[in-house]
Structure 1
Amino acid sequence: MKYSLGPVLWYWPKETLEDFYQQAAASRADVIYLGEAVCSKRRATKVGDWLEMAKSLAGSGKQIVLSTLALVQASSELGELKRYVENGEFLIEASDLGVVNMCAERKLPFVAGHALNCYNAVTLKILLKQGMMRWCMPVELSRDWLVNLLNQCDELGIRNQFEVEVLSYGHLPLAYSARCFTARSEDRPKDKCETCCIKYPNGAQTCCRRKTTSVCTQWHSDHERLRLQPR
């Protein structure tokens, strides 16, 4: 069993991220994911900055993985994704099929992120042919679903060809939307959000059925990695 530290899904200042990853380098995590995975408007930390942080972490002896956007909305974002994919050193976590295609075209291995909505063994087999080496299970699936899916993989003869990772701690990233929930909570239009999410380093608070939670359990089955999500 190995442990992974998932990417920071909140919008933190660059200095805060650098401090966080300095601590992560000294942690017991075997794998560290980093990169902007939520919104391309978050530009306090640029692609070059993420790559520099990745290089500084590489000396810690941990596997470093660059996480990419789960929702690609503009052609300008493709250029930044290309820089991630062609970094020449670090593995990529693909959270969008466009990134899967980029990696496949360059014959580069990749991690299939939980945002890919991969729910069956046939899809996993397709991703394997494109270069997938690790699959992070979608957070909405259950333990029973995972067990059944991996049994299907055994029947297809592909179970031993990829690693399985599950989210075991942290707030669940249940949805990615082009209409930002944080901006909407402040009555801000999509194109004039002013990246207000930076005011909520632990997520905006919202009330649902008289319970307060943050916008944005642990069990064991046949998997090799547990992902810990910063919160």
Structure 2
Amino acid sequence: MRIALLTGAGMSAESGVPTFRDALTGLWSRFDAERLATPQAFRADPDLVWGWYRWRAAQASRATPHAGHDAIAALERHAHVDVVTQNVDDLHERAGSTRVAHLHGRLLRSRCDDCGTTASPDPILAPYAGGDEGRREAPPACARCGGRFRPDVVWFGEALPESAWNAGVEAVRGCDCVVVVGTSGLVQPAASLPSMARALGKPVLEINPVPSALTPQVDAHWAMPASTGLQRLLDDIAGG
């Protein structure tokens, strides 16, 4: 069996990772998330944008996978599982999933905004001086070209990484069924993948405590948290 698992913010929320718009507290509470997550915002105030993403990266790095992440990883013992996620954390990988496509990039990585150079250790995860998290901070300069480092995520107005998008499309095309977990179904083009599956005749299961924009399109909706629903899915497949 081949399963395409499409995961969104509700998946990470159970691990304590704030959803995109929830990650606006303290210094950031007076800002609009959509106005921080653009190339224009970074050019206008790089210290503000880099500081916000550094703070978010620190939060995500401290989060731990929950039972749902563990269940997806365990599914690999019973099926070919491709994870296609809108989340920018690494919780799927830390739980043990081996095939993960990140449609919106990776929060715990950074690169030069000009030449794409990366650095090791990655500066987005560097310890804070004096432990003072959650403040403006100048992004480091690229040793190669002198440009500024930026988070390796997809900002509003930017294209998805071609390799990740192609992996997502191929996962849907090649699967026997699609499982959608914790997504609103509103963010394009990721939200088009379940529709693509239905057009190809693939059954679609949604796991979400509340109905989403996708719910009218799916074959089954399990109204439960990701951790509960994915453990049920694992039990069904492992026991079947």
Normalising by the residue count of structure 2, what TM-score does the alignment of the two structures yield? 0.31
Structure possessing the higher relative contact order (Cα contacts under 8 Å, 6 or more residues apart): 2
Larger radius of gyration: 2
Normalising by the residue count of structure 1, what TM-score does the alignment of the two structures yield? 0.31
